Structure 1
């Protein structure tokens, strides 16, 4: 009998609904993770519960409402599409594919326990983060280890750290760019906006900036005639984060004569609040107010067939098929 093999796709997470109570629960779980905010608990938790979770959920709920669709959370919708498509590709080999969120639902511990009851003997753990960071990929590993620590019959773990320059992943992004270049005048620049992390995390060993650079360099090789600018978004808190900040770049570009841009977010494999609200709406307004004339957001890879090729290849290389 073939050992039961499972693939578990894991994304960051999303509130169950775009209301204040749901967003508060989600943010409480997310921002309590020491991998995300590594301040001493005695210092951070009073701030989190006394200030952040009193003020931020209402504002964030309104932002979630602006992107919520009939399909619910965009991030969950696209992650499910990825799971469904990958399962169809792996079904002939009797490989089960599941989806979990590190924060919120479907929860990572619940999915792991479900697979354990099923009799899983081999697990491919595949974070949906192309560029490794301690704040995302390592946080998934931590929670997985905490969950399985009480199991007596551990499965074989095949953990995929990241894939920042995988050929199919890069081609999926390139395939978002090419049709625009064919149908429109060449933009003055392409801005690649990655989720940021505190500078202190990078200085203490998180190689996320280097992993982002791999993606940027791979895309520069694909489009050598296109001006490509790397930036970082979604700053939280007061300490220094990776620079340049996307909003600062967008404020400055028009003054430098760059008024027609494309913008993409390679660290997000599913469209979500950071892409559909922060990039497509908030940062577009920043660019136009600074004098920019044309701003076009390129969708995340979502369920692009080339990105699914990437996921399938990552799995098959790990399981030897």
Structure 2
């Protein structure tokens, strides 16, 4: 564990407690030097990168090859957003918010942060949870729309590390929560703020979620259905406004969930006097996908037509309002935690 996060990713209650919340997130590089390791950890995950059976024995070698090659492309992108991803820092700050709310309004609780592909890892949290003699844990993947390849992978990673440490504990999995009122209300409120700020008549809303290979959906992954249903629920509050849902961050040549955000941006950029409001639904923290892909790459493409305006609604990050909503939802499960 680097000094950057040591003693910060675990927020222990000063009062007696045997219960904890573990915030699971994908992670991100804290510096340009960490990009290769982050990419390798990502591409070696068999849940996220599902190779044909005949290639699975070579996943480690392929992950090394792809990460070495891909880092050359993404290093300049990270340089444009400050040389690091804010996702770990935002998650720790969110944990601090959540902890303070529980201590003040509900009951004592420990909160730990575990990243899937960067430090701090699940094993770091497991060791401290065991040392604290925690006997009941709520696993909260900060992926509101459940996918076997993302939230599922993070949950399995935590369980595997707990097993290795002989840490027997009651686990409550907080899976698909993208339909909860506090989550939907966040996006509704942020969209209203953008519409009030722009005060332009010809406004279009473009929801963009992180994509997945279409083959995952064809095999029964419910991620797309969850995102679609949440988006429809949000738009019930905005009758008469044109909107679409698209998917971003495709990697490789295989078919991913469509339509692609980059294609929608291209189509909208041909219109005149258009105010495009982009909603990165499903993103709880800013990362490369929001700060570079949306705020720089797609924004610049869209405003090449100088009559157009582009805005992107805020993601929760470490919002106190979002933390209050999350805390209330968790506490409503009274008998479970």
| Contact persistence 2:194–2:277 (CA under 8 A) | no
Deviation at 1:246, TM superposition (A): 0.2
1:38 and 1:126 map into 2 onto residues whose CA distance is: 24
Higher helix residue share: 1
1:46 and 1:178 map into 2 onto residues whose CA distance is: 48
| Contact persistence 1:3–1:121 (CA under 8 A) | no
| Contact persistence 2:90–2:318 (CA under 8 A) | yes
For residue 183 of structure 1, give the secondary structure of its aligned residue in structure 2.
Answer: helix
2:237 corresponds in structure 1 to 222
| Contact persistence 1:14–1:104 (CA under 8 A) | yes
1:35 corresponds in structure 2 to 47
For residue 140 of structure 2, give the secondary structure of its aligned residue in structure 1.
Answer: strand
1:258 and 1:236 map into 2 onto residues whose CA distance is: 32
Higher deviation after alignment, 142-151 or 268-277 = 142-151
1:81 to 76, 79, 93: 93
Work out whether 1:195 is the aligned partner of 2:195. no
2:332 corresponds in structure 1 to 317
Higher deviation after alignment, 251-260 or 79-88 = 251-260
For residue 333 of structure 2, give the secondary structure of its aligned residue in structure 1.
Answer: helix
Q: Structure 1 pair 5/110, CA: closer, same or farther in 2 (3 Å)?
A: same
Deviation at 1:94, TM superposition (A): 1.2
TM-score of the superposition, structure 2-length normalised? Answer: 0.87
1:174 corresponds in structure 2 to 188
1:244 and 1:212 map into 2 onto residues whose CA distance is: 13
| Contact persistence 2:247–2:261 (CA under 8 A) | yes
| Contact persistence 1:189–1:261 (CA under 8 A) | yes
How do 1:239-254 and structure 2 match up within 5 A?
239-254=254-269
2:161 corresponds in structure 1 to 147
1:4 and 1:189 map into 2 onto residues whose CA distance is: 49
Q: Structure 1 pair 111/258, CA: closer, same or farther in 2 (3 Å)?
A: farther
Deviation at 1:187, TM superposition (A): 4.7
TM-score of the superposition, structure 1-length normalised? Answer: 0.92
Q: Structure 1 pair 122/227, CA: closer, same or farther in 2 (3 Å)?
A: same
- Give deviations 1:107-134, integer Å, cap 9, x for gaps: 1121122111110100010011110111
1:101 and 1:153 map into 2 onto residues whose CA distance is: 19
1:132 and 1:258 map into 2 onto residues whose CA distance is: 37
2:260 and 2:307 map into 1 onto residues whose CA distance is: 17
Deviation at 1:38, TM superposition (A): 0.9
| Contact persistence 1:169–1:306 (CA under 8 A) | no
1:110 corresponds in structure 2 to 124
For residue 22 of structure 2, give the secondary structure of its aligned residue in structure 1.
Answer: strand
Work out whether 1:163 is the aligned partner of 2:163. no
1:53 and 1:166 map into 2 onto residues whose CA distance is: 36
How do 1:271-290 and structure 2 match up within 5 A?
271-289=286-304
2:224 to 197, 209, 217: 209
| Contact persistence 2:43–2:63 (CA under 8 A) | yes
- Give deviations 1:220-279, integer Å, cap 9, x for gaps: 112123222100000011110000000001111244567320001111101111001001
For this pair of structures, how many residues does the alignment match? 316
Deviation at 1:98, TM superposition (A): 1.6
1:143 and 1:317 map into 2 onto residues whose CA distance is: 27
1:225 and 1:80 map into 2 onto residues whose CA distance is: 39
Alpha-carbon RMSD across the aligned residues, in angstroms, is 2.1
| Contact persistence 1:8–1:98 (CA under 8 A) | yes
Q: Structure 1 pair 89/183, CA: closer, same or farther in 2 (3 Å)?
A: same
Q: Structure 1 pair 152/32, CA: closer, same or farther in 2 (3 Å)?
A: closer
For residue 241 of structure 1, give the secondary structure of its aligned residue in structure 2.
Answer: coil
2:3 corresponds in structure 1 to none
2:37 corresponds in structure 1 to 25
1:217 and 1:251 map into 2 onto residues whose CA distance is: 23
